[in-house]
Amino acid sequence: MDVTTQNLESGACIVRISGRIDASNAGQLDARFNEVISSGRTRLAADMSGVVYISSGGLRVLLAAIKKVKPSGGDLRLFGLDPNVMKILQLSGFTKIFSTHATEAEAAAGL
């Protein structure tokens, strides 16, 4: 799994994730989100276009992140989801919690 971040002029931050997110590396993803949020960036969009698999451990990390940013008016939006990954989000009810978008432009609009 690889994670990179890109700060936008608007103050939002794109978190680009690729590869497989499972119980072996979910902690690393959690640490990266915590770094970003601790730096003051709470308007986030996660680029999931490179994510080939996400387990319940990975979903736990996403939930923890949105719980941290929402109270201060922030958000965590998801974009570029593979259909299989989207199915897992739907199965877990997470599409009711996270807004999902096809493109970065859509996800970042108004963020």
Partner 1 sequence: METVYKLNVPNRLENLALIGEFLEKSMKAHDIDDCRIYEISTAVDEAAANVILYGFPDGRQEDVEIACTVSESSITVSIKDTGGPYDPTSAPAPDLSDDIENRHVGGLGVHFMKELMDEIGYEYKDNTETLTMVKYL
Chain residues that interact with partner 1, rule: CB under 8 A: 20, 22-24, 53, 55-57, 59-60, 63, 66-67, 70, 84, 88, 91-93, 96-97
With respect to partner 1, which residue has the nearer C-beta, 3 or 66?
66
Closest approach of partner 1 to the CB of residue 86, in Å: 11
**Whole-angstrom Cα distance, residue 69 to residue 85?**
23
Give which of 33, 98, 24, 97 is closest to 65, Cα–Cα: 33
DSSP H helical ranges for 5-44:
26-38
Closest approach of partner 1 to the CB of residue 99, in Å: 12
Closest approach of partner 1 to the CB of residue 103, in Å: 23
With respect to partner 1, which residue has the nearer C-beta, 77 or 104?
77
In this structure, the dihedral spanned by the alpha carbons of residues 19, 22, 24 and 25, taken in order and rounded to 10 degrees, is 50
Closest approach of partner 1 to the CB of residue 74, in Å: 12
Cβ neighbours around 5 below 10 Å, total: 17
